[in-house]
Amino acid sequence: MLFDYSNKTIQIKIVYYGPAMSGKTTSLKSLFKYFGKQETLKSIESTTGRTLFFDFGVLNFQGYEWNIKFLIYSATGQDFYASTRPATLIGVDGIIFIVDSQNTCIKQNLRSWNELYTFFSNKLYEIPIIICLNKWDLDNKIKKLEFLNEINYTLFEKVDIITTIATDGIGIFDSFKNMLNFIFPQISIQIN
């Protein structure tokens, strides 16, 4: 979190994290579409439409006195680019973790989650995290409680879990809003 007193701007960094193909880019696109900002989202994609380094976009909210600027990133889930992921996580204020809810993906989800723990160690428990169980429209899903048990859910100070369908925009705004409430418990956003 950065405070720019001369411009009265608070800068917040949010990262969408999770295994490859879990729906990070789709979630970000859907979020930016919600705010009518889809054309401002930058995705660096390979020719097959997969995220190369990261997606990046900015959302601004004007308060009475202060402006809040969200810098929003998604880390690539592809192993080939694993070395770029820690850089994306530096200085993060909140993580939105996109789980691929298909029960065939449990290993990938946990591996990605453990990467976060490897990077932050016990500091991870202090970072606000929203867990999105994405692809909730599909059959054969993981069980919510089982996943929570695997990740030491109870150790987190600010954690929430929500089911999402990024392709239909379901749960996308709510997950972002819940993150805002963690970071700024005292403010609410009004969408015109």
Q: Is 21 in the site for ligand GDP (CB under 6 A)?
A: yes
Of 158, 162, 163, 164, whose CA–CA distance to 180 is shortest?
158
Distance CA 106, CA 150 (A): 10
84-102 in b/e form (b: 16+ CB < 10 A) is ebeebbeebbbbbbbbbbb
The interface mask with ligand GDP, positions 92-111, x = CB under 6 A, is ------x-------------
Both tokens of residue 56?
A: 């990046």
Q: Among residues 25, 88, 163, 175, which is the contact residue for ligand GDP, using CB under 6 A?
A: 25
- Please pick, from the candidates 22, 25, 108, 134, the single residue that binds Mg ion as defined by CB under 5 A: 25
Q: What are the φ/ψ torsions at residue 34 (nearest 5 degrees)?
A: -55, -40
51 near ligand GDP, judged by CB under 6 A: yes
Residues 50-89 that bind Mg ion (CB under 5 A): 51
Site for ligand GDP in 109-148 (CB under 6 A): 134-135, 137-138
Helices 24-34, 172-183: inter-axial angle, 10-degree rounding = 80
Asked whether 97 and 17 are in contact (CB, 8 A), the reply is yes
- Of 22 and 109, which CB lies nearer to ligand GDP in the complex structure? 22
State the minimum distance, in angstroms, from the CB of residue 60 to ligand GDP.
24
Q: Which residues bind ligand GDP (CB under 6 A)?
A: 18, 20-26, 51, 77, 98, 134-135, 137-138, 165-167
Q: Which residues bind Mg ion (CB under 5 A)?
A: 24-25, 51
